[in-house]
Structure 1
Amino acid sequence: MGTVLTVKDLGKAFKERKIISNISFEVNQGEIMAILGPNGAGKSTTIRNIMGIMYPDEGTITFHHRQGETIPRNKIGYLPEERGLYKNVNVMDILLYLAELKDYPLDRAKQRALTYLKKFDLEGKEKVNVEELSKGMGQKVQFIAPIIHEPELLILDEPFSGLDPVSQELFKQEIYQLAKNGTSILLSSHQMNLVEEMADRLFMIHRGQKVIYGKMEDVKTEYANFKCTIRGFNNKAALEQLPDINRLEQEGDQSILYLNKDVHPAKWLQQLPADLQIQELTIDRVSLHEIFIDIATDRNLLQEEGDVYA
Structure 2
Amino acid sequence: MLSIRNIVKQYANHRALDNVSIEVEKGSIFGLLGPNGAGKTSLIRIINQITAPDQGEIFLNGEKLNPSHISTIGYLPEERGLYKKMEIGEQMLYLAQLKGLSKSDATARIKFWFEKMGIQSWWNKKVEDLSKGMQQKVQFIATVVHGPELIILDEPFSGFDPVNAQLITNEILELNSKGATIIFSTHRMESVEQLCDSIALIHKSKKILDGKVKDIKNIYRNNTYRIAFTGRINAPENPIFSINDEKIEDGITHLTIQINPKYSVNDLLNFLIPQVQITELMEIIPSMNDIFIQNVKN
* Native 8 Å contact 1:77 1:151 kept in 2: yes
**Structure 2 stretches lacking a partner, 5+ long:** none
Match of 2:295 in 1: 295
Where do 1:8-47 residues align within 5 Å?
A: 8-47=5-44
Q: CA deviation at 1:230?
A: 5.8
1:5 alignment partner, one of 2, 7, 10: 2
Task: Tell me the percent identity.
Answer: 38
Once structures 1 and 2 are overlaid, which stretch shifts more, 103-112 or 174-183?
Answer: 103-112
Measure the CA separation in 2 of the matches of 1:139 and 1:204. 26
Where do 1:250-265 residues align within 5 Å?
A: 256-258=256-258, 265=265
The letter of the residue matching 1:297 is: K
Match of 1:137 in 2: 134
The letter of the residue matching 1:248 is: N
Could you say if the C-alpha distance between residues 250 and 97 of structure 1 is closer, same or farther in structure 2, counting changes exceeding 3 Å?
farther
Could you say if the C-alpha distance between residues 176 and 261 of structure 1 is closer, same or farther in structure 2, counting changes exceeding 3 Å?
farther
TM-score (norm 1): 0.82
Once structures 1 and 2 are overlaid, which stretch shifts more, 145-154 or 161-170?
Answer: 161-170
Secondary structure, counterpart of 2:108 in structure 1: helix
Match of 2:50 in 1: 53
Secondary structure, counterpart of 1:72 in structure 2: helix
Match of 1:303 in 2: none
Measure the CA separation in 2 of the matches of 1:65 and 1:21. 23
* Native 8 Å contact 2:227 2:281 kept in 1: yes
* Native 8 Å contact 2:240 2:263 kept in 1: no
Could you say if the C-alpha distance between residues 259 and 56 of structure 1 is closer, same or farther in structure 2, counting changes exceeding 3 Å?
farther
The CA RMSD over aligned residues, in Å, is 3.0
The letter of the residue matching 1:283 is: E
The letter of the residue matching 2:189 is: M
Where do 1:179-190 residues align within 5 Å?
A: 179-190=176-187
Where do 1:1-310 residues align within 5 Å?
A: 4-229=1-226, 241=238, 243-245=240-242, 248=244, 256-258=256-258, 265=265, 268=268, 271-272=271-272, 282-298=282-298
Secondary structure, counterpart of 2:284 in structure 1: strand
Q: CA deviation at 1:193?
A: 0.8
The letter of the residue matching 2:179 is: G
Q: CA deviation at 1:29?
A: 2.1
Q: Which has the larger radius of gyration?
A: 2
Q: CA deviation at 1:32?
A: 0.3
Measure the CA separation in 2 of the matches of 1:50 and 1:118. 31
Q: CA deviation at 1:248?
A: 2.7
Q: CA deviation at 1:229?
A: 4.0
Once structures 1 and 2 are overlaid, which stretch shifts more, 4-13 or 223-232?
Answer: 223-232
Residues 205-261 of structure 1: per-residue CA shift (max 9 Å, x gap): 1111122111111111122335334689xx9xx87757344x835799876445566
The letter of the residue matching 2:188 is: Q
Once structures 1 and 2 are overlaid, which stretch shifts more, 153-162 or 112-121?
Answer: 112-121
Measure the CA separation in 2 of the matches of 1:181 and 1:210. 30
Once structures 1 and 2 are overlaid, which stretch shifts more, 102-111 or 47-56?
Answer: 102-111
Secondary structure, counterpart of 1:12 in structure 2: strand
Once structures 1 and 2 are overlaid, which stretch shifts more, 80-89 or 59-68?
Answer: 59-68
Q: CA deviation at 1:202?
A: 0.8
Match of 1:308 in 2: none
Secondary structure, counterpart of 1:94 in structure 2: helix
Secondary structure, counterpart of 1:248 in structure 2: strand
Q: CA deviation at 1:146?
A: 0.7
Could you say if the C-alpha distance between residues 95 and 239 of structure 1 is closer, same or farther in structure 2, counting changes exceeding 3 Å?
farther
TM-score (norm 2): 0.86
